[in-house]
């Protein structure tokens, strides 16, 4: 069975990069994983949905959502508030 979402990414090392992939059927898990890749500054090579590369608009939307969730996480940790308050005060994703 083909996973709905596949993320291809690279982990940089001193002399080379390891190319890996992540599979999931859950779009929220996909966005959370993209957020982790952003936070760790790994190279995001491609995102596929049901075996087809996401169009640029959809790819950008997923990255934007992942970045918003990551921002909310950092705001909550820095200000010691919950995600609901962060959304209310800063308009960030809950």
Q: What is the pLDDT of residues 71-91, one digit of tens each?
A: 999 999 999 999 899 989 988
* Percentage of the residues of the chain whose pLDDT score is greater than 90: 77
d(CA 10, CA 34): 12
3-state secondary structure of 2: coil
pTM: 0.86
| Statement: residue 93 has pLDDT above 80 | no
Own/partner contacts of 17-23, CB < 8 Å, gap of 24 or more, are: 17/43, 19/45
Contacts of 26 (CB under 8 A, 6+ apart): 4, 5
Q: What is the mean pLDDT of the chain?
A: 92
Top-confidence residue, 94 or 56: 56
């Amino acid at each position: 069975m083909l996973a709905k979402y596949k993320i291809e990414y690279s982990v940089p090392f001193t002399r080379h990069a390891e190319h890996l992939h992540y599979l999931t059927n859950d779009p929220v898990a996909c966005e959370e994983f993209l957020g982790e890749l952003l936070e760790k500054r790994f190279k995001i090579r491609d995102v596929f949905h049901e075996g087809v590369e996401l169009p640029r608009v959809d790819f950008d939307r997923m990255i934007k959502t992942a970045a918003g969730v990551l921002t909310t996480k950092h705001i909550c940790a820095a200000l010691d508030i919950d995600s609901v308050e962060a959304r209310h005060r800063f308009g960030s994703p809950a």
